[in-house]
A and B are shown apart, each in its own frame.
Chain A
């Protein structure tokens, strides 16, 4: 995890890629979103999606999976350089999540994060709030996922 002070607005981070297999789509859907077009090929083909489609919450959860792995790599690299490693704070939530196109079985998504705004917190001097946007594109470069996230990051030198 990085400190609030390490955040660079506008810098794009490629978090990683993930291929949505039919098995993974169905497993997630059986647990959390058991609608026919997420569970089986045939209803998927007949639906507005035109094929077995991943639950939108599956697409979103994979973002978190890739983010955690990306931050773990950053933390390990910082540790190897002998630098301090920050523990991320919680997220208060997010806004404007969109699924502009379906994610179909076999699609490979690449997720990218960019910080767009940051401000210190008067109420919590040990943290700063960082706003950002996350997008995912499929193997054809079409945007399939977008949202505006927020996270509390620890200050390197808290003003207390």
Chain B
């Protein structure tokens, strides 16, 4: 059954992963979208502030999206993302990392302009296997309600 707005209640929602991230995909994403030396080359990575080869922050965002699509968005009656309030890049993504995503619902409210939908504010936090927090992302999704006509206030 499709998840709807009603299934997203404030609090911890899911823990997704672990997802293994290879050196090959870090370099492949960077080569196409973020070809800075520290994302492509071990030696350049060592000289950078990250102190070693690191994944692009945009790759981390894309990985978080994929984990959420596989984890719940793919079976949610979603009308798309409304935007992202904030992303914090806290620590580097490394080749070989096994990442998990803790997903929290920070807020869920009915849409005023579209009464058949609601807006869910989701905070996803990415951790590596050592439980170092790599990234935090707060985004808003528009989701259809299950029975809008019967629950109108």
Contact = CB atoms under 8 A, between A and B. Distances in A.
A binds B: yes
Interface of A: 31-35, 37, 47-49, 55-57, 60-62, 64-65, 68, 87-99, 147
A61 B58 contact: yes
B34 A90 contact: no
Interface residues of B, number: 32
Interface in B81-115: 81-89
Given A33-B66, A37-B80, 4 more contacts: A61-B62, A62-B33, A64-B58, A94-B86
B73 interface: yes
Contacts of A88: 36
A57 B58 contact: yes
Contacts of A147: 84
B80 A96 contact: no
Given A34-B66, A60-B61, A90 B32 contact: no
Given A32-B65, A35-B69, A61-B34, A92 B49 contact: no
Interface of B: 32-36, 48-50, 56-58, 61-63, 65-66, 69-70, 73-74, 78-89
Given A61-B33, A65-B33, A93 B86 contact: yes
3 closest A-B pairs (Cβ-Cβ)?
A: A32-B62, A97-B84, A61-B33
A55 B65 contact: yes
Contacts of A96: 83-86
A99 B62 CA distance: 15
Contacts of B63: 32
A48 B48 CA distance: 43
A95 B66 contact: no
B69 A68 contact: no
Contact of B81 (A31, A68, A90, A99): A99
A98 B83 contact: yes
Contacts of B74: 34-35
B78 to A, nearest CB: 8
A31 B88 contact: no
A97 B35 CA distance: 22
A31 B62 contact: yes
B80 A94 contact: no
Contacts of B49: 89-90
B64 to A, nearest CB: 9
B55 to A, nearest CB: 12
A56 B80 CA distance: 10
